[in-house]
Amino acid sequence: MNTPLVSILLPVYNGKKFLRECLDSILAQDFANLEILIADDDSSDGSAAVLEHYAARDGRIRWWKNRQNLGMVENWNSLLCEARGEYIKFVFQDDKLLSASAVSELVQPLVNQPNVILIVSATQLIDEKSRILGTRDHFRPGLSGGKEVIQRCLGQNANLIGEPSVVMFRRSRCNGGFNPQLRHIVDLEFYFRLLEQGDFNYISKPLAAFRQHPDQQSAKNHRNGIVGKEHVWLMQEFLARPWIGQLAKRETQFNLIRSCRKSNTPEGVALQQTVMRRLGRGWFAAYWLKRKVITPLGKLFRPTISYRHPTFGPP
């Protein structure tokens, strides 16, 4: 059996509602040297019947149903373990690829630039009825240092990169896969570990769509408070990295204090006090002034730029 260059990985759990639209976008790809692996995490909504139908149509699809529910992250990792391709492209059940050339456009820079670890495209945001809500476009096209991207995400306390459906990465650099101890920032923490090893490449053309709806896992995480706690953990974890510059450390410390205040937990209060001692109240006041006064004034008097951010901000 020939080894595929790209593995497209589709984790499924009760995803019947959008599954056909997702699969149609995958099967429409013009890149031939790929495999399609699908792990159904013991769904109960009829997803298996949909997968069986599509697998009968296309021999590149290999799918299985887990004997018991593994959970989101372990299901992702089960797919990574089975993947044979040099490059990995996740597509989640709610999402879809936007053009037949999406995989081709993502894989080419990875093939041509050996130091690129992670490649990302702009993202189209859609709702339950596939209506376009906006376009997420946070980077300039082309190469950036991986550690620079990490520092920017930390400084803004946001996942500017996007969901696994909008990235492609090298399987050889996966470092054990996704962290099963995390539930919300699991993708961002994984990207950070990849980007510590090499460069980042960005395509400003939207190649994938991320669907936003109330039943998705990220919406549930926001409601139950997991998001704030995990962002505090992530910033604390990477703040200790020796390669983080002093300026980024200060800005990250400022955002860490703000996140601790929002998390409203005993651990958050204790961490807030520790980080405030490191940063100093003078630097905290300076960054607060920049955020609340200087930056808004700069935006007010800045000429209009055609950035295409959605009104509801980053994830």
CATH assignment of the domain containing 88: 3.90.550.10
- Regarding whether 21 and 76 lie in a shared domain, the answer is yes
Which residues form the domain of 293? 219-300
Distances (CA, A) of 180 to 70, 172, 187: 11, 19, 11
Residues 200 and 223 in one domain: no
pLDDT average, residue stretch 228-237: 83
Same domain, 142 and 175: yes
Report the alpha-carbon distance of residue 158 to residue 136 in Å, rounded: 13
Q: Which residue has the higher pLDDT, 303 or 129?
A: 129
**Cβ–Cβ under 8 Å, residues 122 and 204:** yes
Are 27 and 175 contained in the same domain? yes
Same domain, 120 and 175: yes
CB distance 7 to 34 below 8 Å: yes
Q: Which residues pair with 211 in a beta bridge?
A: 126
pLDDT tens digits for 84-95?
Answer: 999 999 999 999
Q: What pLDDT score was predicted for residue 312?
A: 35
Residue 74 has pLDDT above 70, yes or no: yes
Note whether 115 and 196 are within 8 A (CB). Answer: no
Q: Give residue-wise pLDDT tens across range 144-198.
A: 999 999 988 987 888 999 999 999 999 999 988 999 999 999 999 999 999 999 9
User: What does the pLDDT read at residue 306?
Assistant: 41
pLDDT digits (tens, 9 = 90+) for 95-136: 999 999 999 999 999 999 999 999 999 999 999 999 999 999
Confidence of residue 311 (pLDDT cuts 50, 70, 90): very low
Do 57 and 151 have their domain in common? yes
Choose the final residue of a domain: 213, 238, 258: 213
On whether the CB atoms of residues 109 and 58 are closer than 8 A, the answer is: no
SS3 label, residue 66: coil
Token reading at 124: 């189209």
Task: Give tens-digit pLDDT for 265-295.
Answer: 776 787 788 888 888 999 999 988 888 876 6
> How far is 73 from 90, CA to CA, in rounded Å?
13
Predicted pLDDT of residue 273: 85
Q: Is residue 308 part of a domain?
A: no
For residues 269 and 281, the answer to whether their CB atoms sit within 8 Å is: no
Separation in Å, CA 90 to CA 123, 164, 174, 235: 14, 6, 13, 25
Instruction: Report if residue 134 sits inside a domain.
Output: yes
Nearest-10 Cα torsion for 119, 121, 123, 129: -90
Q: Indicate whether 185 and 280 sit together in one domain.
A: no
Kindly calculate the radius of gyration of the chain based on its CA atoms and give it in whole angstroms. Answer: 20
What single-letter DSSP state applies at residue 292?
I
> Do 180 and 292 reside in the same domain of the chain?
no
Query: How confident is the model at residue 158, as a pLDDT?
Result: 86
Determine how many CB atoms are found less than 10 A away from the CB of residue 108.
Answer: 15
Residues 40 and 139 in one domain: yes
Among 171, 186, 213, the domain boundary falls at: 213
- The pLDDT value recorded for residue 216 is 61
Question: One-letter amino acid identity for 287?
Answer: Y
Let me know whether 107 and 140 are in one domain. Answer: yes
Domain count, the chain: 2
Q: Stretch 13-20: mean pLDDT, rounded?
A: 96
Q: Tell me the C-alpha distance between 135 and 205, whole Å.
A: 10
* Domain assignment present for 152: yes
* Closest listed residue to residue 272, CA positions, set 236, 223, 246: 236
150 and 264: one domain? Answer: no
Angstrom CA distances, 84 to 1, 72, 73, 78, stand at 11, 21, 19, 12
Whole-prediction pTM:
0.85
Q: List the one residue out of 103, 123, 121 whose CA is nearest residue 111.
A: 103
pLDDT range class, residue 301, cuts 50, 70, 90:
low
Residue 259 is assigned to a structural domain of this protein: yes
Residue 131, in any domain of the structure: yes
Domain boundary among 213, 238, 268: 213
> Does 203 reside within a domain?
yes
In a domain, 255, yes or no: yes
Q: Is the pLDDT of residue 228 over 80?
A: no
Considering the chain, what is the average pLDDT of its residues? 88
148 shares its domain with 268: no
